[in-house]
Structure 1
Amino acid sequence: MSQYQNYSACTSILIGKNASIDGSTIIGRNEDCKATWPKHFIVHQHKEYQDVQEFKSNDNKFKIKLPKIQYKYTATPEWTDKYGKFEEDGINEYGVAMSATESAYANSHVLGYDPLVKDGIGEEAMVTVVLPYIKSARQGVTRLGEIISKYGTCESNGILFSDNKEVWYLETGSGHHWVAMRIPDDCYAVVSNQISIRKVNFNDKNNFMWSKGIQDFVKDNHLNPDLNGEFNFRHIFGTHNLTDVYYNNPRVWYGQKMFTPEIKQQPESHDLPFIRKASRLLSIDDAKSFLSSHYQGTPYDPIGNGSKEDKTKYRPVSLAKTQEAHVLQIRPKMPHEIAGIHWLAMGVAAQSVFVPFFAGINDTLNEYKKGKLEYNPKSAYWIFKLVGVLVDPHYLQLNDPLKNTQEKLNINMRQFILKVDSEYNHQEDLSKYLTKMCNKNAKNVLKEYQRLAYQLISISTDFSKLNYKQDLNL
């Protein structure tokens, strides 16, 4: 089994179209695993096979027959497929976005009746066997749900789907049972390594989907602890322990504090709602800011002014073990090629920058397809990661150069999006144009981060422990 199995990781955000400032649907997640574990960014081309294809997992013995037609999609696979592909996130040619997965934990009582399946589908395979074969977010839920029900799953997870109309969140609660909820158009949700969906309305098939027989499974095995008999998926299938108190709940609290600050809540509370309405319309920058956050403005910021105990009390959203962070934006009333933007921050989001790639691209820079465990100055992952490594020992002294570069690039990338939006209608070969423009923009970002690294190295030369304030006249 993979290196992921016993590691609690990731933080997610989902935003409905009427909750966003421009009508976009937005899903995003930090992929957290190890402090050093490079990712690549690639485009899988549309393919049509004469024979049925079969997927075989390198992580376990899971295998499945695949449709003959594979749609084009973006993905961020591992630097090695020894433990599986872990493609994690992407947008396909039909404007469907998917992010898999948000690690979650089912309780042992439920798992006693429906254990996880050792050779069932896991995180490493989900994007690969679902995203290239769906034409809507709802179809994504249906396809993945059917696979879980038939083959079982080897882990508990949350999976994000979106298209230009809907945002869906699917959670697995046991070996074969799952539920999915459509995020209301005027709401958002933040998720942090725990089963989060609460009340399930089985009379509302437009906004809820579920595994066949889940109600009978819960009833026959006496699994519902609520006195009112309400079917609360989190209460029935989820956990309620100290890991939630210190590791999970505070991240949800901080996200809701960012977007709905007028509601006062406690960071350790088990009663934080899954769905919230923001006090304002949310932008793509809000999603990126959340995924880059570490409790700024509170005593719990690891690089803030709180006490030593407070600064290490809660697990932050953005942390050193983030491999990549992504925000998948689907804009309204535009062709799929231009509507979808795969915003990708390699390494730690707080120290990196989200680079936009339109879904219609045919390829990515060579730098985004390189990078192994050993540092490589020509790898996009390592170019961003190096800046983080340099900043970490002297965060307060080096934070200003980092923030200045991030602000400059964020302004430039907004200008880049506006330029492409104004020009794409005049292109004979849209995919070729988008590939050229996105790779040119990404190349410029990498150059700026390389310059930033050089600057940080120069400044850091004066931080030696062997330093001494000397009289320059001697």
Structure 2
Amino acid sequence: MLTRSSCTSILIGKNATFDHSVIIGRNEDSKAAWPKHIVKHAPVVDAQQFASKANKFAMPLPKNALAYTATPEWTDKFGLFEEAGINSAGVAMSATESAYANMRVLAYDPFIEDGITEEAMVTVVLPYVKSAREGVQRLADIVEKYGTGEANGILFADHDEAWYMEIATGHRYVAQRIPDDSYAVVANQLAIQVVDFDSDDFMYSADLKDFAESHQLWTPGTDFNFRQIFGTDSSFDRTYNTARVWDGQRRLTPSVKQDPESSDLPFIQKADRLLHVDDAFSVLGSHFQETEFDPADPRAKFPHHYRPISVAKTQEAHVLQMRQNLPQPIADIHWQAMGVAAESQFIPFFAGTTDTPESFKQGELPADLNSAYWQFKLASVLVDAHFMRFAKDLDAVQTSTHQKLLASIAQADAASASLDEHGLAGLATTATAANAAIALNAWHEFTMKLLMDSTDLSPLNFMHDANL
């Protein structure tokens, strides 16, 4: 059973953030009740063989796999779907942003049934690369050799660069480096626009221009617009996809007025101000607040006209922050939100942790509240029942908890200055456990308050006689 995720992604260059972090992030949207875990894989010395349970894709893996964080499914019955992580070389990867290619290009380069898919990408790429650019190249080599079974966008980052790679057809791809002073928001469409074949900021299939020209898809001498040549532009895109890009860009660049149904929204955009990591959280948690399209607002005129960024089917959301001027085990933070980004908490897991807290490695079907995933899902379901009534309380717990988590990160940063490799691993592990406890304790109190306050909101209520 191959599962296609309908996600939303964000990438931010290092000069677009206050602290010069490189940031990538994504909502993993697929099923409303499908637990996710966050784990830390130890390094592996010996060569291995990968065999997918999602299809028949298989390939040998090299020696010396690096340690990395990952967010796999609760069961590997249908494949691993590790989705996102940061390795010990300081490389982050998120895979994938599902996309669609048009029928013309797929006619000449169809998908390969047993090619690589989302399910396998993080597992066979992230442990073996030492830069974002290397990540693009390794995945490109795999696609050229084995083909792919679906169109996808893949995010890579290191301490210097953020890259977005789009695999459109069975063997053709393009990748673009996000300019340091810019950001990108992507929503289930091929997004990269004009390709500069003479720039080091692009990587692409060796025969990409020849392929497009030979099949009368592109005229030499004109701009090679990858989105227009390989992508789609349909009424479905204008209700399902473009409005999410518009929503993300209106939040970060409100000075630019755009149409949510425009087919020409820019892939690369500049924010009106320098950004913080929580600006990425804000985009991934957005559902058209303060517009007439917000499905959570009973006053909204068109509440379900467009598909929002944050939806009930988000299994988890992650933001991978590559910070500067700190030792790598502490510098790189895997921010993890279980369940719906709008109704959960982004919790900082230091990339150098040797393990993750037990409750974040648990969670199956049926639900079990020993699992962090199900604890956050319980809170979100209680909020959903009376969203506008609890919206202020939700914002308060997210804000106050984030404040505590930032203070905890600052303490870890200060403590890391004098530590060796072993000490950093210990610090990253204990600090990660402390961060998880801060969030879980705050949200347990919040959930109990939601439960208590909800008891008097039943439709079976009646105005009782006070004397009875």
If the length of structure 2 is used for normalisation, what is the TM-score? 0.98
**SS in structure 1 at match of 2:126:** helix
User: What one-letter code is carried by the residue in structure 1 that aligns with 2:295?
Assistant: P
2:37/2:73 contact within 8 Å kept: yes
Q: Offset at 1:306?
A: 4.1
Match of 1:458 in 2: 452
What pairs with 1:241-280 in structure 2 (closer than 5 Å)?
A: 241-280=234-273
Q: Offset at 1:228?
A: 6.5
Asked if 1:414 is matched to 2:409, the reply is no
450-459 vs 144-153, greater mean Cα deviation: 450-459
Asked if 1:15 is matched to 2:8, the reply is no
Asked if 1:236 is matched to 2:233, the reply is no
Q: List alignment gaps of at least 5 residues for structure 2.
A: none
User: What one-letter code is carried by the residue in structure 2 that aligns with 1:274?
Assistant: F
Match of 1:130 in 2: 125
- 1:286-335 CA-partner distances (Å, limit 9, x unpaired): 00110011111110111125445x10101111110000000000011222
Q: Offset at 1:129?
A: 0.2
2:327/2:416 contact within 8 Å kept: no
Match of 2:70 in 1: 75
Q: Offset at 1:427?
A: 3.5
- 1:71-105 CA-partner distances (Å, limit 9, x unpaired): 00000000011111000000000100000000000
Task: From the superposition, tell whether residues 471 and 426 of structure 1 become closer, same or farther in structure 2 (CA, over 3 Å).
Answer: farther
1:26/1:330 contact within 8 Å kept: yes
1:325/1:344 contact within 8 Å kept: yes
Quote the Cα distance in structure 2 between the aligned partners of 1:440 and 1:283. Answer: 22
- Select the residue among 283, 289, 294 that pairs with 2:282: 289
- 1:167-226 CA-partner distances (Å, limit 9, x unpaired): 00000111000000000001100000000001001111x1000012111111111112x7
Match of 2:415 in 1: 423
Count matched residues.
466
1:121/1:152 contact within 8 Å kept: yes
2:213/2:220 contact within 8 Å kept: no
Quote the Cα distance in structure 1 between the aligned partners of 2:387 and 2:464. Answer: 25
User: What one-letter code is carried by the residue in structure 2 that aligns with 1:24?
Assistant: S
Match of 1:315 in 2: 307
2:312/2:340 contact within 8 Å kept: yes
Q: Offset at 1:227?
A: 9.4
1:74/1:89 contact within 8 Å kept: yes
1:240/1:270 contact within 8 Å kept: yes
Quote the Cα distance in structure 1 between the aligned partners of 2:303 and 2:221. Answer: 40
What pairs with 1:370-409 in structure 2 (closer than 5 Å)?
A: 370-409=362-401
Match of 2:27 in 1: 30
Quote the Cα distance in structure 2 between the aligned partners of 1:329 and 1:464. Answer: 42
2:404/2:438 contact within 8 Å kept: no
**SS in structure 2 at match of 1:256:** helix
Match of 1:351 in 2: 343
Match of 2:3 in 1: 3
- 1:316-355 CA-partner distances (Å, limit 9, x unpaired): 1111000000000001122211110000000001110100
2:323/2:332 contact within 8 Å kept: yes
User: What one-letter code is carried by the residue in structure 1 that aligns with 2:166?
Assistant: E
User: What one-letter code is carried by the residue in structure 2 that aligns with 1:86?
Assistant: F
Asked if 1:331 is matched to 2:326, the reply is no
Task: From the superposition, tell whether residues 190 and 349 of structure 1 become closer, same or farther in structure 2 (CA, over 3 Å).
Answer: same
Q: Offset at 1:447?
A: 2.0
User: What one-letter code is carried by the residue in structure 2 that aligns with 1:101?
Assistant: T
- 1:345-382 CA-partner distances (Å, limit 9, x unpaired): 00001110100011110000010100012111110100
Q: Offset at 1:457?
A: 1.0
What pairs with 1:98-113 in structure 2 (closer than 5 Å)?
A: 98-113=93-108
Quote the Cα distance in structure 2 between the aligned partners of 1:134 and 1:307. Answer: 47
**SS in structure 1 at match of 2:268:** coil
Deviating above 6 A after TM superposition, structure 1's stretches of 4 or more consecutive aligned residues are none
How many percent identity over aligned positions?
53
User: What one-letter code is carried by the residue in structure 2 that aligns with 1:142?
Assistant: Q
Quote the Cα distance in structure 1 between the aligned partners of 2:428 and 2:321. Answer: 16
Match of 1:174 in 2: 169
Match of 1:53 in 2: 48
User: What one-letter code is carried by the residue in structure 2 that aligns with 1:427?
Assistant: L
- 1:413-466 CA-partner distances (Å, limit 9, x unpaired): 110111111111233511012101211220231122122111111111111111
What pairs with 1:435-450 in structure 2 (closer than 5 Å)?
A: 435-450=429-444
**SS in structure 1 at match of 2:455:** helix
User: What one-letter code is carried by the residue in structure 2 that aligns with 1:162?
Assistant: A
Quote the Cα distance in structure 2 between the aligned partners of 1:235 and 1:441. Answer: 44
Quote the Cα distance in structure 2 between the aligned partners of 1:402 and 1:24. Answer: 27
The Cα RMSD (Å) is 1.2
User: What one-letter code is carried by the residue in structure 2 that aligns with 1:208?
Assistant: F
Q: Offset at 1:58?
A: 0.4
If the length of structure 1 is used for normalisation, what is the TM-score? 0.96
1:157/1:171 contact within 8 Å kept: yes
Match of 2:297 in 1: 304
- Select the residue among 106, 113, 124 that pairs with 1:118: 113
**SS in structure 2 at match of 1:161:** strand
Quote the Cα distance in structure 1 between the aligned partners of 2:381 and 2:458. Answer: 16
Asked if 1:139 is matched to 2:134, the reply is yes
1:300/1:306 contact within 8 Å kept: no
**SS in structure 1 at match of 2:341:** coil
- 1:395-415 CA-partner distances (Å, limit 9, x unpaired): 112223222211110110110
Quote the Cα distance in structure 1 between the aligned partners of 2:438 and 2:183. Answer: 33
Quote the Cα distance in structure 1 between the aligned partners of 2:289 and 2:221. Answer: 39
**SS in structure 2 at match of 1:416:** helix
Match of 1:470 in 2: 464
